[in-house]
Amino acid sequence: MKHYLLSVVQPADGTPPSPARLAEIMRDVDAFNDELRAAGAWVFADGLHGPQTATVLRPKDGDVLITDGPYAEGKEYLGGICLIRAEDLDAALEWGRKCALATTLPIEVRPFMGQH
């Protein structure tokens, strides 16, 4: 089994879902995570706080500079991650499809390096 990262792509601006719609989405996400666990594909998943909570550490001249805020400004940001096990890219893409339907957000699927 190979490991894949499913990145939840969150729009930086936009109207958050209503509390009722958010509750429905979270039920779908919980069901997706339960399905991953039942299939033996689940490794780890969680949401992230917004980019305004980020701290960036940058090496410079043998030291490390620490700054607040995201590394880069953008129209989207990483809103959460799901680390899965899958036989191949096709299987990982199927999990990504299910994740996109559950979260209602774009999902980026990426394999980890060093796995053949």
pLDDT-derived band of residue 116, with 50, 70 and 90 as boundaries? low
pLDDT score, position 90: 98
Residue ranges and CATH numbers for the domains of the chain are 2-111 (3.30.70.1060)
pLDDT-derived band of residue 73, with 50, 70 and 90 as boundaries? confident
Angle CA(53)–CA(28)–CA(11) in degrees, nearest 5? 35
Model pTM greater than 0.85? yes
Contact 111, 1 (CB under 8 A): no
Give the single-character DSSP code of 115: -
pLDDT score, position 114: 83
pLDDT digits (tens, 9 = 90+) for 24-55: 999 999 999 999 999 999 999 999 998 989 99
pLDDT digits (tens, 9 = 90+) for 78-115: 999 999 999 999 999 999 999 999 999 999 999 999 87
Strand partners, 77: 10
